[in-house]
Amino acid sequence: MPSNKSVSDAPIVQFTNCRILRSHQLQREDLWVREGKILNPEKLFFDEKGSADIQLDCKDSIIAPGFIDVQINGGFGVDFSLATDDFKAGIDLVSQKILSHGVTSFCPTLVTSPPSVYHQVLPQISIRDGGAHGAGILGAHLEGPFISREKKGAHPEHCLRTFEAGAFQDLLATYGSLDCVRIVTLAPEMKRSSEVIRELTKQGICVSLGHSVANLSQAEEAVQHGATFITHLFNAMLPFHHRDPGIVGLLTSDKIPSGRRVFYGMISDGIHTNPAALRIAHRAHPKGLVLVTDAIAGMGLAPGRHTLGQQVVEIDGLNTYIAGTKTLSGSVATMDTCVRHFQEATGCSVETALEAASLHPAQLLGIEHKKGTLNYDSDADFLMLNNGLYVQATYIAGEEVWRQDALGM
């Protein structure tokens, strides 16, 4: 086959016999990849007079962008909120294991912890590309400690903090550094939160509202100052009330600044949110829905006692509670499970379900030009799935990093 090597010597791979999720639709066309990027075949044919070096038959699989999990506390026995000597080995293990669930990028999440934990753990989290070693790390998600006591959920009360006179300096002193931080969850009703939201946003950090008793006007004010996300909608916030819908009201608020979109995380595990509530949120604001696992160290392990930061949690089936209570504490659902449950619960299209775990989190983080889509020139992070949305293979930068063995399919 003729191929023009003047542009690049790298091999061109053509994925055939597949349905590609592009422009919100599954399209029957081939996917072309070179040097970790998705190629425009027209440019290849007409400008370079090139063709494929390798052809792969996808056997009618769906090809979708890799999943992006922006809230994951750990998994497989690893807890990101514990300062251990082998923290790096732990984060490597999780990034490797989640490849089989279709996650190609993630934000390791720390729940409310003492300052000493942030000071030890955060310097050990480095933003990095994914590959055969595991999913890419987009930066840390710090959930707390600047949250409401009334809606602390599974967060340890003795570690909660408020903003004092030098609000942003308080935050810096607590975390130690913001170098690798991508998302901060805080309660917007706290005094001085507005200046903190403005400063974090100025530094390119996504501010999420959660674990909060904020009313709607407080939530709208936070969005006007730069907040763009809601942490696990419905969980750890005031329930919807028709006279003041609270943070939930942001989904249909007319006070969102022009050109801005509020996104919201949903734990679609069949436990944290009733399917009817999932449907209400999806129908009210479909383009803002971001699937998150909120997975804890017990994900992938047998039922029993595990940790979530400073707390002991108990896993019973898909339920996870703070030991000795009925307080829910994170999830043990995997991202591919959440995608399937979301599609089943809402009756949405396959395309919509897949975009809630890929395009929407990429848009939230402002990386949709390279992640979360299969557009030309974007990163070739993608999945092969069957019609039941079970992951068959995971690719990062065009390289296969995980494949379901033939017996397991």
Q: Is 232 annotated as a binding residue?
A: yes
Q: Is 225 annotated as a binding residue?
A: no
Q: Which residues are catalytic?
A: 294
Q: Is 143 annotated as a binding residue?
A: yes
Q: How many angstroms separate the CA atoms of 257 and 321, rounded?
A: 38
Q: Is 154 annotated as a binding residue?
A: yes
Q: Which two three-digit tokens encode residue 146?
A: 């600047």
Q: How many angstroms separate the CA atoms of 159 and 115, rounded?
A: 9
Q: How many angstroms separate the CA atoms of 280 and 99, rounded?
A: 31
Q: Is 100 annotated as a binding residue?
A: no
Q: Is 360 annotated as a binding residue?
A: no
Q: Number of C-alpha atoms within 13 angstroms, CB side, residue 120?
A: 14
Q: Is 359 annotated as a binding residue?
A: no
Q: Is 227 annotated as a binding residue?
A: no
DSSP class of 11: P
For residue 174, the SS3 value is helix
Q: Is 48 annotated as a binding residue?
A: no
Q: Which two three-digit tokens encode residue 205?
A: 């950090």
Whether residue 363 contacts residue 370, with contact meaning beta carbons closer than 8 Å, is answered with no
Whether residue 96 contacts residue 361, with contact meaning beta carbons closer than 8 Å, is answered with no
Q: Is 236 annotated as a binding residue?
A: yes
Measured from the Cβ of residue 257, the count of other Cβ atoms closer than 10 Å reads 12
Q: Is 328 annotated as a binding residue?
A: yes
Q: Would you list which residues are annotated within the binding site?
A: 143, 154, 211, 232, 235-236, 243, 272, 328-330
Q: Would you list which residues are annotated within the binding site for Zn(2+)?
A: 143, 211, 232
Q: Would you list which residues are annotated within the binding site for substrate?
A: 154, 235-236, 243, 272, 328-330
